[in-house]
Chains A and B, each alone.
Chain A
Amino acid sequence: MTTLTLRELVIRSMRSNMKHNYLYFFAFMMSTALYFVFATLANDSLIMAATFKDIEFVLLLKVSGILLVAIMIIFVIYANNVFLMRRSREIGLYQLVGLTRRSVGLLLITENVLLGMGALFIGITSGALVSRLFLLILLKLIDSKNVLTISFSSSAAIQTAIVFTILIALTLIQTLYKVYFTALIELLEGERQGDQPVRPRAVLSSMMGLLGIVLIVAAYLLSNQTLGPAFLLQILVILASIILGTYLVFRVTIGWLFYQIRRIKNGQLGLKNSLSLAPIMHRMKSNALSLTLITVLSAMTLTMVAIAYSLYYSAESEARAMLPYDFIFENNEHDANSFRAELESAGLTFVHQPIEAVRLTGRFGTGTEDRHSILLLAAEQLQASGADIVVPGQGEAIWYSGLRKLLSTERNFNFPQVAYLGTYGGYALINVSEGINRYMMNFNVQGSQLIVSEATLADIRQLIPIVPEQEIVHIDTYQIALMSDRAAASDYYERYIKADKYRPSFYAYYKDAHLKFGLTLFIAGFLGLVFMTATGSILYFKQMAEAEQERNCYTILRQLGFGEREMISGIIRKQLFVFAIPLVIGLVHSFFAVKTVSALTLSDISIPAAIAMTIYTLVYFVFAVLTVRYYSAFLNLKFIV
């Protein structure tokens, strides 16, 4: 072979491959671009550090970058494998006509390197163009007023180039392995038919199939339980059970179900089912692992995005539930008054309300003998400060526990129940009529918050003598009317906080959460984007390989006289299953995951979760349409979208 012919070969095969593999090229390019954006943001640590102060932004980006590379490796290796399979006959033919393995290897390497480098180059260029856009989105999310200028980061480019060169090298190894270590006859036989169909063994597969479902349902039920003290172990068990269950569902349950359908049809399967049920059923065995991966990744992405989204959007209400008052001073009238003077001189509109509370020890709740600190607050005083609250009756109390559903042992409490207050020299009994999972006083004030009427509070004070463990707490509360004034007020307040005491103000707490969750949302969305494209593409590539294997089948159908329309509807039904099965299982998984997590937050997470799920479904739909298009074009069927 002369060099010229080899070069011609490279060009020709690249051209034909580009036509078929544009999605691979695109996905490779897109992940390069996204990785570059990541690297740019992580590398610009100076600017970022200024914006994010103490938050471990860079670390977060690094971890996400590793995740990104991991999914990229899986994806690229998988896609390359599909291409090698598709081209194995071509590789065999080259060898048959006399090209040495070396020159075939060289041909494929040249091709891979050229394609890879092209994708890398375009990826970095477009990454540089869109990194600004991503930065703007991030800044918008965290409401930053900073104008960040971001320039082309050559260190990010180098980092991206290194990572993706390694990735290309991996595909080269894979390719060379195929060329050097596959027998010629195997190459020529190419991708034939995949596995030969087998009937599932009746008892074993129905048992295993059932086990898969049982494992998943058990994991769902377990995730609905209160997390106990060994909650890490519990989460691990849930995850293991879900993953194993999902694998079994793909490996056995679905095949078993399809087999039952076929048995009921008693031979009269019809064309559509013959083109969808039958091949899917027979391929489940070899596809189970990758489908499990896809499903778990999808569920993870969905859960991650939904949680990040809801954390971000509930940051304010969550902060309010924790800190009902913008600023408080506990037993420090001196500071409280000077703070007040500062607010007045700055001309800010505010409400200042002093509250007299009683802190004592007592016990109620789980019925243990443990005594703990209790803060008694008078409802009338809270009302005066603007709190929306009903005054409990004489001898009655309402417990503002602030506990999240999941972490509380509240479900073991029965209301009403009796609380024993005080011990030294007498005690009082009050009736706790209900528990509410927010706070009425800022959470950093010590003591379980029981709200009583002013009269009840007075009674208790008389009953229980003042001793060191039973003190009167004077709290000055401040509410600032305008959100825009809170920043300035917060600056004054900061000066009264001593380094050793934790006294969060609503504003600082909210800002912190907003920033943290804005960043989390950004990264979750980012990773979600990549995961979505990667899993969708893997399904697409899988179908490319299957189209190749089924080509013969469609030729036969044509000879039998089946029309294009019928065959296309068979293809559509198959793709419906191919995309819907992992999607639906992934959706159900994430539904339960989101449900579990929502018990940890005070606000409603169902809407963001629904939005994330809808977007995911839409993207999968687009992938399914693309796949049907490819499939039809590959089989020379006319399918117009």
Chain B
Amino acid sequence: MIQSDMKKTVLHAQQLRKSYGIKGNVQQALRGINLRIVEGEFVGIMGPSGSGKSTLINVLATMDKATAGKVVVEDVDISTMKDAERSTFRCNKLGFIFQDYNLLDMLTVKENILLSISLGKMKKKEVEAKFQQIASDLGILEIAHKYPHEISGGQRQRTSAARALIHEPALLFADEPTGALDSRAATSLLEIMEKLNRQRSITILMVTHDPIASSYCSRVVFLKDGMVYSELYRGSKTRQTFYTEIMNVQAVLGGDHVDPA
């Protein structure tokens, strides 16, 4: 704890609330969430289905607006921003990996990856160098000119990751990134994320219902009914030990009702 306090805060959410529906039939998805993430953390978010994980990550990632509360990313209050500002902010500062990849079908792997930095004023050579670097890190250099439908799910997810990382975001969000992958592809993606987190100290926030996936994290936050239920820090524990701890919390939470999608 002491250690993290010295580090810079990347994201700070205060009293976040989000409700869906119209008067009379309001559904509270988030009911006052406080969350602080410092630079270099790899945070996992777990919880039963319907506990508000997706809602939380969407609000933090500026893809949805909170009903109340405040979100500060790198000292910028994004909860009061206008739509256009949020778009620009998202484009420049944040990266996403989606469960179903969200690649554009008619673009090649390379075109998909480079799309998100097309708006920046980077030089062509620089862009190419960056691409070479990230694609070889993620092992997708050979498939750069293939279309999404020609490659495997794991490769698609790594493409999606490369697209999220190419502009060096302050924060990387991932909503169930391993949800549609088989265990080998999932492990490979998680190892890559762990490596990126360690070596490049990229801050990551990942929603998952899979305890194995969350055992790669440095901290796991458990949600229940739109509120933070508990938190676990990995510290210097082995992944196996951490995994067991996570399983225990989940058993208490009733983690059997995991979100399948």
Contacts and interface: CB of A to CB of B under 8 A. Distances in A.
Interface of A: 193, 196-199, 262, 266-271, 274, 278-279, 281-282, 553, 556-564, 566
Contacts of A278: 104, 106-107, 111
B78 to A, nearest CB: 12
B119 interface: yes
Contacts of A262: 111
Contacts of B145: 199
Interface residues on B, range: 35 or more
A562 B87 contact: yes
A197 B96 CA distance: 25
Contact of B147 (A196, A266, A269, A279): A196
B243 interface: no
Interface-central residue, A267, A268, A281, by most chain B CB under 10 Å: A267
A489 B89 CA distance: 86
A268 B105 contact: no
A561 B81 CA distance: 14
B115 interface: yes
A199 B147 CA distance: 9
Contacts of A270: 115, 118
B194 to A, nearest CB: 24
A587 to B, nearest CB: 28
A300 B92 CA distance: 51
A277 to B, nearest CB: 9
Nearest to B150: A196
A271 B149 contact: no
Interface string B112-147: 011110110000100110010000000000001101
Contacts of A268: 111, 114, 118, 124, 127-128
A558 B88 CA distance: 11
Given A267-B113, A274-B107, A279-B106, A559 B119 contact: no
Contacts of A563: 84, 87-88, 91
Given A196-B149, A553-B105, A559-B96, A271 B119 contact: yes
B128 A560 contact: no
A558 B64 CA distance: 11
A561 B91 contact: yes
Interface string B66-91: 00000000000000000010011111
Contacts, number: 86
A553 B128 CA distance: 24
Given A197-B147, A279-B106, 20 more contacts: A197-B105, A199-B147, A267-B108, A267-B110, A267-B111, A267-B113, A267-B128, A268-B111, A268-B124, A271-B119, A553-B106, A556-B103, A557-B104, A559-B98, A560-B96, A561-B116, A562-B87, A562-B91, A563-B88, A563-B91
A446 B114 CA distance: 78
B119 A566 contact: yes
Contacts of A557: 104
Ordered nearest first, which 8 A-B pairs have the shortest CB separation?
Answer: A561-B90, A561-B91, A267-B110, A270-B118, A278-B106, A556-B102, A563-B87, A196-B149
B63 interface: yes
Nearest to B98: A559
Contacts of B92: 561
A270 B110 CA distance: 12
23 contacts: A193-B105, A196-B147, A196-B149, A197-B105, A199-B145, A199-B147, A267-B111, A268-B111, A268-B118, A268-B124, A268-B127, A269-B111, A269-B115, A278-B104, A279-B106, A556-B102, A558-B87, A560-B91, A560-B163, A561-B87, A561-B92, A561-B116, A562-B119
A279 B163 CA distance: 20
B46 interface: no
A557 B87 CA distance: 10
Contacts of B103: 556
Nearest to B96: A559
B124 A274 contact: no
Contacts of A566: 119
A559 B90 CA distance: 8
A241 B152 CA distance: 44
B191 to A, nearest CB: 25
Nearest to B117: A268
B94 interface: yes
Contacts of B110: 266-267
Interface-central residue, A196, A197, A566, by most chain B CB under 10 Å: A197
Contact of A274 (B88, B115, B128): B115
A267 B147 CA distance: 12
Given A196-B105, A196-B149, A269 B114 contact: yes
Interface-central residue, B88, B102, B108, B111, by most chain A CB under 10 Å: B111
Nearest to A559: B63
Given A196-B147, A267-B131, A560-B116, A553 B111 contact: no
Interface-central residue, A193, A281, A557, A560, by most chain B CB under 10 Å: A560
Contacts of A267: 108, 110-111, 113-114, 128, 131, 144
Contacts of A274: 104, 106-107, 111, 115, 118
A274 B111 CA distance: 8
Contacts of A559: 63, 96, 98, 102
A561 B94 CA distance: 9
A278 B107 CA distance: 7
Contacts of B84: 563-564
B91 to A, nearest CB: 3
Contacts of A282: 106
A271 B87 contact: no
A562 B92 CA distance: 10
Contacts of B163: 560
A260 to B, nearest CB: 14
A271 B96 CA distance: 18
A278 B103 CA distance: 14
B125 to A, nearest CB: 11
B147 A271 contact: no
A573 to B, nearest CB: 14
B113 to A, nearest CB: 7
